[in-house]
Every structure is written in C-alpha cells, then in structure tokens.
Amino acid sequence: MNLRSLTAELMAQPLDQFTTRRNARVKELKASGQADLARELAALKKPAVPLWAANQARDRAQLGGLRRAAQAVAKAQGAAATGRVNAAQDLRAASEQFQRDLETVAATAASVLRADQHVPAEETVRRIREIFRLAALDGGDTWDRLQEGSLTVEPRPGDDMLEMFAAGATPATGKRAEQAEARRAAELADKAARADAERAQQAVAAAERRRQEAKEAAVAAKLAANRAAAAEKEAARARAQAKKSQRKTSR
C-alpha cells in the first residue's frame, strides 16, 4: 500500500464521499502505525470536478488509443518540421485521429459525471478534455497516474510542449493552448505542403528533362542508324566493285 494506490482508491469513489473516506483511511493508517503515510494522505485535497471525472475514465482500450494517437501527432509534427514527403497529409490525418480519440475519452468522463448527478458544464468538459490532451501528449508519470486513476494535479503545458506547439509563444492554457497547438500544426502542415509542392515541381522538371534527353537520344540513334545503313551500302558497293575488278584481272 502506498500513496498512489490509496489515491486511486479514493478517486474511484463518488466525489461527495471523498473527504469522508479520506479521513477514515487516515485514521486507519494511524492506528496501524503508518503515521507518515497517514500524514501524506491527510494532505490530499478533494479534487476539482474535472480532475475527478478524468480519473474515472479507465478504459484501457480508449486510453491506449489516445496515447498512440498523441504519439502519432508528435511524430507527424516532427516530420513536417523537417519537410518530409507527404508530411502535411500525415499530420492532418494524425491530428484528426487524435481529436476523435480525445472526444471519445472526454465523453466517457462526462458520462461519469452525469451518472454521479453532476451536470457536465461546457467549461468542465473543456477542462476534462485539456487534462487528457496534455497528459496524452506529455506521457511519462502524468499519463501513468491518469491511467491508474491517481492523478492529483491538472497538467499544464511544459516547456517542451510549448516549443512543439506554440513555437516559442508565451505559456498558454485552456483554449489558448489549443489555439496555439492548432496554429503550430497548421504552420507545419503548410510548410510540409509547400515542400511537397516544390518536390512535385522538381519531379515534373526532371521528368521533362528525361523526356527531352530521350527524344535527343532517339534522334541520335536514328542518325546513327542512317549512317550505319549508308556505310553498309557503301561497303556493299565497294565489294561489288572489287569483284568486278577481280574478274577483269582474271581475263
């Protein structure tokens, strides 16, 4: 038994019972001689509604899909930044899949709220979605805790994530972070699209050069064939003349 497992246990209970169950657990720990653990658990605050709801979404298949989609977005953004072929299409596809998976997981968490007699207000749902979005993109301990239902703090964009999505913009949260991410993704997609278009133009130019070279080679081959045919005719005439000369000599 540790603080994380106890946190997950409490988070799994109805939100209005959190404080009562926490205090009861603290007493049990003290009684069993686990004073340090009791002190740590006593310091655990009742979570805000969005954070509690996010901890309820423990569908491994949904969460696994969301994490893989987030990794695909990061990979596609890296490829777009380097101008890899077809990176724009890959980035759009990865971003769209990530948004679909994000909405699915957020809807699951919102349904838990309704089941617990909470009205999932728009701002609440937005914060739930932001928790999943940032945790999935960040990975690490934040994601591990969310999966096990023991996340105690709503994640915030880190420096590396701001660099990835906001290209050096000032720290942003909520809608500002989503907008910064969308702008960065759009910039990368546009850059990749321009690179794809430039490569396409280069390919067209190269194909045209090859066609021209092929035409020139065909003309040269035809001229060479004509010269070879003329040479053969000349050789045939020379042989015929040589035979005539031999007959005259033999007479």
Residues 116 and 137 in one domain: yes
Residues 63 and 174 in one domain: yes
Mean pLDDT of 83-103: 86
Three-state DSSP class for residue 47: coil
Two tokens at 183? Answer: 């702008």
Instruction: Burial-class residue 153 by CB neighbours within 10 Å (0-12, 13-18, 19+).
Output: exposed
Q: Higher model confidence: residue 135 or residue 166? A: 135
Mean pLDDT of 87-113: 89
Q: Is there a domain that residue 239 lies in?
A: no
Which band of pLDDT confidence, cut at 50, 70 and 90, is reported for residue 236? confident
Q: Higher model confidence: residue 149 or residue 226? A: 149
pLDDT of residue 177: 53
Q: Higher model confidence: residue 134 or residue 249? A: 134
Query: How many distinct structural domains can be found in the chain?
Result: 2
Picking from 61, 40, 69, 52, the residue whose alpha carbon sits closest to that of residue 131 is: 52
Which residue has tokens 């603290």? 26
Residues 15 and 37 in one domain: yes
Mean pLDDT of 57-71: 92
The H helix count followed by the E strand count for the chain is 10, 0
Q: Is there a domain that residue 193 lies in?
A: yes
Is 70 in contact with 136 (CB distance < 8 Å)? yes
Which band of pLDDT confidence, cut at 50, 70 and 90, is reported for residue 25? very high
Q: Give the Cα separation of 161 and 35 in Å (integer).
A: 38
Residues 9 and 108 in one domain: no
Residues 80 and 119 in one domain: yes
Q: Is there a domain that residue 105 lies in?
A: yes
Is 172 in contact with 180 (CB distance < 8 Å)? yes
Residues 178 and 106 in one domain: yes
Picking from 164, 162, 165, the residue whose alpha carbon sits closest to that of residue 182 is: 165
Three-state DSSP class for residue 138: helix
Which band of pLDDT confidence, cut at 50, 70 and 90, is reported for residue 113? confident
- Look at residue 135 and tell me whether its pLDDT is greater than 70: yes
Q: Which helix (H) or strand (E) segment is 42 a member of? A: helix 35-42
- Look at residue 36 and tell me whether its pLDDT is greater than 60: yes
- Look at residue 171 and tell me whether its pLDDT is greater than 50: no
Q: Give the Cα separation of 150 and 54 in Å (integer).
A: 10
- Look at residue 162 and tell me whether its pLDDT is greater than 70: no
- Look at residue 82 and tell me whether its pLDDT is greater than 70: yes
Picking from 3, 20, 18, the residue whose alpha carbon sits closest to that of residue 51 is: 18
Is 54 in contact with 131 (CB distance < 8 Å)? yes
Residues 120 and 103 in one domain: yes
pLDDT of residue 220: 73
Contacts of 61 (CB under 8 A, 6+ apart): none
pLDDT of residue 238: 75
Q: Is there a domain that residue 12 lies in?
A: yes
Contacts of 80 (CB under 8 A, 6+ apart): 87, 88, 90, 91, 188, 189, 191, 192
Q: Is there a domain that residue 227 lies in?
A: no
pLDDT of residue 156: 87
Q: Give the Cα separation of 70 and 65 in Å (integer).
A: 9
Q: What is the mean pLDDT of the chain?
A: 80
- Look at residue 45 and tell me whether its pLDDT is greater than 90: yes
Angle, in degrees to the nearest 10, between helices 87-115 and 49-56: 100
pLDDT of residue 218: 76
pLDDT of residue 191: 52
Residues 118 and 23 in one domain: no
Q: Is there a domain that residue 170 lies in?
A: yes
Residues 36 and 126 in one domain: no
Range of the domain at 16: 3-42
Question: End-to-end distance of the chain based on CA atoms, in angstroms?
Answer: 125
56-60, 127-131, 223-227: range with lowest mean pLDDT: 223-227
43-47, 92-96, 120-124: range with lowest mean pLDDT: 120-124
Over pLDDT 70: what percentage of the chain?
78
Q: How many CA within 13 A on the CB side of residue 130?
A: 22
Which residue has tokens 């005259």? 248
pLDDT of residue 43: 95
Asked whether the CA dihedral 183, 177, 99, 71 is positive or negative, the reply is positive
